[in-house]
Amino acid sequence: MSSRYADVYGQWKSDPDAFWAKAAEDIDWYQKPRCVFDPDQGAYGRWFADGVGNTCFNCVDRHVAAGRGQDPAIIFDSAMTSVSQTYSFDDVLQEVTAVAAVLKNLGVEKGDRVVIYMPMIAEAVFSMLACARIGAIHSVVFGGFAAQELASRVDSARAKVVIAASCGLEPGKVVAYKPLLDAAIDLAGSKPSYCLIVQRAQLRADLKTDRGELDFANLVGKEREKKTEIACVPVAATDPLYILYTSGTTGKPKGVVRDNGGHMVALQWSMRNIYGLRPGDTFWTASDIGWVVGHSYIVYGPLLAGVTTVLFEGKPVGTPDAGTFWRVVERYRVNVLFTAPTAFRAIRRDDPDGIFVTQRDLSSLRTLFLAGERADPETLRWAEALFRIPVIDHWWQTETGWAIVANPVGLQPLGVKHGSPTVPMPGFGVEVLDDAGKPIKHGLLGNLAIRLPLPPGCLVTFWEADERFRETCLNEFPGYYKTADAGLIDEDGYVFVMARTDDIINCAGHRLSTGALEEVCAAHPDVAECAVVGAADAIKGQVPYGFLVLKHGVNRDETAISQEVVDLVRQRIGPVAAFRTALIVPKLPKTRSGKILRGTIQKIVDGETWTMPATIDDPATLDMIIAALEERIYVS
């Protein structure tokens, strides 16, 4: 394949240092790195080890200095409150500087940790950038996380300050954050010195000054009025920018550590080459800042590239309907939309014919990107037919911080293969290994691994747990980073990510991918979304169980639909799948970021002891799984 992508990927393979040195030229440094990669530092080496810079400067100050101060930087849109506000780069600089001044007045210094426990409001982004400005390390915790989970993160980071909101807003309800924060601090062994509280009009909190609780708006407003100037603190490229604790952890949480230098270089490169964005474009990542997608592509990536970013408070459905995404795209002339497949499945379930889409002018939209979990081909085809623009799946992880595998539309759009996020990006040497760590042939299912070193922008370790990082990610396959995903690479070099490795079903000696089974189930015209897990079986070892959510308006006999889905799997995969159980449920259990909780479902199916996941969006969905199992129907 002779192409621009192949040439660029080949340039990286032939001389990684030269490739990333050139990419680093797009960053403004206080001290330009001369050492691109030092293999002797850290767990697998460190990028730009002698470079000195500041992430906030590159996100905000340099654009103001370049004369773009009046250009829009952040558009805040709340479907929950019907509030919209646009912040220019000048505005962002003013707000971030004021928050930075407050933090410095509270004793926060370079290297200190600040936990941010906030909904999707502008103050959250200003707080992240303020930490970066003064060299503090932020740790964003998804707003509304349970007290125990928040406490474990405050403890692990030993946060000097917590910045929180009085409440968050969900469809039909107000979620009080302050009682959760109070309980978390009571549980935490390491107590923060201060808590800054953003008081929201929907539910104000009582502040206890004897516990160091302070009004965010009052303190920030004073610094804004004084026009306090806080210079960006020079930090080493290898200094941490943030800690992000992986979702769904139990016991001591795993804190992914992201550095400053490699993170800036990788995200800047990705904005232009993967997403095809330039200054003046508008990018909307419909996610949450509590997740890695929000860190990388609501906050840092767009602002590094001088691109306008949309900060949205709402849901794809229910705020107020399945047309809210298209309202936002039309109103702000969004050029590129990035969201999770689960959001599109929810929209497709509520509006299968795309009626809301036809009511809006979406002519500004060039590309739709999906990530977060595997994008099933049926959802991709639905979106392609509806929007008639490229719909791009791409694969990455909290640990990597940006795309491992993607279709680089800014570099060269490649042909789409449904079910594949396309090809590895420069920096990622993706291989398929057997369980002994040996490379296997194209087309065979195995463990997806990345040859070391990981590229700039990936995690450098777990927070204060280097050995745990090595044990979890590096030791099983020496010379590789273990993604814990299973998949294959075809003869054209396209990567197919089929499942987490613990989602591979071993049925009578046959390795079956849950992703492949779900792909077939979702092809049924009445199915909006589905999940397949392996159930323990005394004879076959495991057999697949399917859980189906039907599209709105479907009122056919459910037993007939189940039989049709079972027949479809037999037609397309064969009797080897031993697929006889397809249960219909109103909703699937998911995390707040939209990932299906397959592990918990499997434990329920097998009758094992399970605990309520900390990240679950709706606990009642687990009762729906239990009820479906009690009424299960086997089909022949």
With cut-offs at 50, 70 and 90, classify the pLDDT of residue 248. Answer: very low
Higher pLDDT, 572 or 31: 31
With cut-offs at 50, 70 and 90, classify the pLDDT of residue 1. Answer: very low
User: What pLDDT, on the 0 to 100 scale, is given for residue 250?
Assistant: 42
With cut-offs at 50, 70 and 90, classify the pLDDT of residue 40. Answer: very high
Looking at residues 550-556, what average pLDDT do you find?
Answer: 93
User: What pLDDT, on the 0 to 100 scale, is given for residue 387?
Assistant: 93
The predicted-structure confidence for 156-213, as pLDDT tens digits, reads as follows 999 999 999 999 998 889 999 999 999 999 999 999 999 999 999 999 999 999 899 9
Q: What percent of the chain has pLDDT over 90?
A: 83
Token pair for 19: 């490739």
Cis peptide upstream of residue 320 (ω within 30 degrees of 0) = yes
Beta strands 72-78 and 83-88, pairing class: antiparallel
| Residue 547, pLDDT above cutoff 90 | yes
DSSP string, 462-477: ETT-HHHHIIIIISSS
User: What pLDDT, on the 0 to 100 scale, is given for residue 148?
Assistant: 85
Report the run of H or E that residue 175 belongs to, with start and end.
strand 173-176
- Alpha carbons 296 and 140: distance in angstroms, whole number: 12
User: What pLDDT, on the 0 to 100 scale, is given for residue 502?
Assistant: 66
The predicted-structure confidence for 416-459, as pLDDT tens digits, reads as follows 999 999 999 999 999 999 999 999 999 999 999 999 999 999 99
pTM recorded for the entire structure: 0.86
3-state class (DSSP) for residue 73:
strand
User: What pLDDT, on the 0 to 100 scale, is given for residue 578?
Assistant: 85
For residue 495, what are the CA distances in angstroms to 79, 91, 340, 401? 37, 42, 19, 19
For residue 531, what are the CA distances in angstroms to 377, 546, 614? 14, 6, 20
If you search the block for the tokens 């040996």, which residue do you land on? 438
Token pair for 510: 């046959």
With cut-offs at 50, 70 and 90, classify the pLDDT of residue 249. Answer: very low
Q: What percent of the chain has pLDDT over 70?
A: 97
The predicted-structure confidence for 6-24, as pLDDT tens digits, reads as follows 999 999 999 999 999 999 9
- What are the b/e assignments for 447-471, b being 16+ CB within 10 Å? bbbbebbbbbbbbbbbbebeeebee
The answer to whether 448 and 487 have CB atoms below 8 angstroms apart is yes
The predicted-structure confidence for 483-534, as pLDDT tens digits, reads as follows 999 999 999 999 999 877 667 787 765 667 788 899 899 999 999 999 999 9
Token pair for 251: 């016991």
Q: Is 355 exposed, middle or buried (0-12, 13-18, 19+ CB in 10 A)?
A: exposed
User: Among 30-44, 142-156, 253-267, 548-562, which is the least confidently predicted range?
Assistant: 142-156
User: What pLDDT, on the 0 to 100 scale, is given for residue 2?
Assistant: 54
Token pair for 330: 């039309």
User: Among 260-264, 296-300, 408-412, 578-582, which is the least confidently predicted range?
Assistant: 578-582
DSSP string, 478-497: TTEEEEEEEEEE-TTS-EEE
- Alpha carbons 367 and 338: distance in angstroms, whole number: 9
With cut-offs at 50, 70 and 90, classify the pLDDT of residue 375. Answer: confident
The predicted-structure confidence for 299-336, as pLDDT tens digits, reads as follows 999 999 999 999 999 999 999 999 999 999 999 999 99
With cut-offs at 50, 70 and 90, classify the pLDDT of residue 572. Answer: confident
For residue 448, what are the CA distances in angstroms to 351, 407, 499? 36, 18, 10
- Alpha carbons 582 and 260: distance in angstroms, whole number: 47
If you search the block for the tokens 């004897």, which residue do you land on? 210
The answer to whether 74 and 92 have CB atoms below 8 angstroms apart is yes
Closest CA to 427 of 406, 441, 447: 406
Higher pLDDT, 419 or 296: 296
Give me the chain's average pLDDT, please: 93
For residue 584, what are the CA distances in angstroms to 219, 372, 449, 592, 631? 53, 24, 35, 22, 10
- What are the b/e assignments for 59-94, b being 16+ CB within 10 Å? bbbbbbeeebbebbbbbbbbbbeeeeeebbbbbbbb
Token pair for 535: 């159930």
In the chain, the domains with their CATH numbers are: 4-314+394-487 (3.40.50.12780), 508-630 (3.30.300.30)
- Sequence-distant (≥ 6) Cβ neighbours of residue 320 within 8 angstroms: 79
User: What pLDDT, on the 0 to 100 scale, is given for residue 342?
Assistant: 82
Token pair for 377: 């081909």
